[in-house]
Amino acid sequence: MRIVVADDEPGIRRLLVFTLHRRGSTVLEADTGDSALELIRAERPDLVVLDVMMPGLSGPEVIQLLRRDPATAEIPAILLSARGRASEIAAGLASGARSYLVKPFDPRELVARVDALLAERQVATNGD
């Protein structure tokens, strides 16, 4: 499974890459929302993990653009943010994210959410 991770904080990005590589995923990295959108459109990953606040496009803005394009509309997205108020989580999910994790997050929770979203996508794709 190919996953795009986008976060402007190198330490968080390294943790994401390490965690997702350990689960057996191929991970592609971006450090801005604009580069994430370009990478997602070019590579069509199975899932994306996006920071909410990045230079250029924000994570929610990237997701909204993906949802408007039939070629990328079904790619599940997880948002990450240090902001964890209910209104902020609700806004992130309203943008089209399938999940929202508050930083700092437990890597095991990230893997569990990734696994669940990928399983849902596989079932939807296979029509089971």
pLDDT interval class at 127 (50, 70, 90)? low
Residue ranges of domains in the chain, CATH in brackets: 2-126 (3.40.50.2300)
What DSSP state is assigned to residue 52? S
pLDDT-above-70 percentage for the chain: 98
For residue 76, pLDDT beyond 90: yes
pLDDT of the residue at 128: 53
Furthest C-alpha separation in the chain:
40
* Neighbouring C-beta atoms of residue 51, cutoff 10 Å: 26
Give residue-wise pLDDT tens across range 78-98.
999 999 999 999 999 999 999
For the cut 60, the answer to whether the pLDDT of residue 41 exceeds it is: yes
Q: What is the mean pLDDT of the segment spanning 94-112?
A: 96
Question: What is the DSSP code (8-state) at residue 59?
Answer: H
How far is the C-alpha of 23 from the C-alpha of 45, rounded, in Å?
16
